[in-house]
Chain A
């Protein structure tokens, strides 16, 4: 069974429906035992890092998430929460992936970065198995992770940034696979099948 951590954020439902379309057994939960016993864990999220970290703290889920050994996939803000720090509200995050979140602000680009953009450089990670170079995914964000050792896919908007990051069992995608058509569904399927 897979569990979607109930972050109280808005994209929970679309993720749940996307997994149900693939007829996957999925449960939305904020109960530590349920989360711990899940085969795979999703951490969705939209909105501000500060607000979402507040929710996780309030629900007593920070240590639970940090201690997870099974595959974990953070989506959009969920990916950002897996890093150590976000400049959006200068908030300490879960520190599951050694990376930091900063503003995407650049001189010639409008924010939020919203819409379908191409990704590349992802051929070596099983999460992206079967996804061609320059395939399109749906992004909506104003903050992101710079390119680093943990980057497993690259997107470019004004400058290159991490479309996805991974460290040990923790993975994160900046885009919304649940809203990225067939390519997005492929990512979810890869995550559900990958072995670590």
Chain B
């Protein structure tokens, strides 16, 4: 049986892993390589590294650490941040990343998804979507440049329309980050993720809101996502991945123990 994936996310700024709450006040969590090694041995199924400043600074990610990570870990990992050309994507993959994730550059040029798919294959093209529910209209809208609170802006895309569009362009996986929930640890947005699931025939990863082991069970059982991504609960060691997986297995969720 295909296992549901547990995916620690390491937000990277200036070569260090950081964690912010609602994208503000980034605090340093630790060095990239030892953390990557720790998680790959602790039972993580995959890792995501996200340079939270890259796209909004108009520069691309400092990539020297990708190769160092690739040397030490034996599980798949994805790199996000500032990848807006085929060349950059190629370099990142060549350095040993298994997937690349694009967010704002895909919103600026949806055709980039198609080009990445053509050149490198669907399996490595992940599209990250930052979605915010407008409290007045109830509408889920896509935001870009969310790495920098000053430049964060709402796009014209409604979230579920954009989910359809990126699939048509050939995305291999979607990470849906529910911004209302991000960093506040009150649980995944299972309502939004369930609606996304209905529109999504490629792997869907939940992001934003994990605070307890019950939240993971909820999102797998309610929203049928393929994986759940989280950062702070893992970085703080409040949740140990092995304990989490044992709990999920006992709850009837298929996981790799």
Contact = CB atoms under 8 A, between A and B. Distances in A.
B122 A142 contact: yes
Contacts of B2: 113, 115-117, 157
A21 B123 contact: no
Interface stretch (A144-152, A161-169, A180-188): A180-188
Given A10-B93, A13-B96, A14-B96, A112 B123 contact: yes
A114 interface: yes
A18 B201 contact: no
Contacts of B34: none
Interface string B70-82: 1110111000000
A14 to B, nearest CB: 5
A110 B198 CA distance: 12
A112 B172 contact: yes
Contacts of B67: 13
Contact of A185 (B45, B74, B94, B98): B74
Given A110-B203, A112-B202, A138-B75, A179 B122 contact: no
Interface of B: 1-5, 40, 45, 67, 70-72, 74-76, 90, 93-96, 98, 119-124, 172-173, 200-203, 226-227, 256
A11 interface: yes
Contact of A110 (B1, B45, B74, B201): B201
Contacts of A179: 74-76, 98
Given A13-B94, A136-B256, A181 B74 contact: yes
A21 B74 contact: yes
Interface residues of A, number: 37
A47 interface: yes
A45 to B, nearest CB: 9
The B interface is mostly helix, strand or loop, or mixed, namely loop
A115 B3 contact: yes
Given A14-B98, A116-B2, A176-B76, A46 B121 contact: yes
Contacts of B70: 13-14, 17
B203 A17 contact: no
Q: Which 4 A-B pairs have the closest CB atoms?
A: A47-B121, A10-B93, A13-B96, A140-B123
A24 to B, nearest CB: 14
A27 interface: no
Given A114-B172, A114-B173, A138 B122 contact: no
A189 interface: no
A84 interface: no
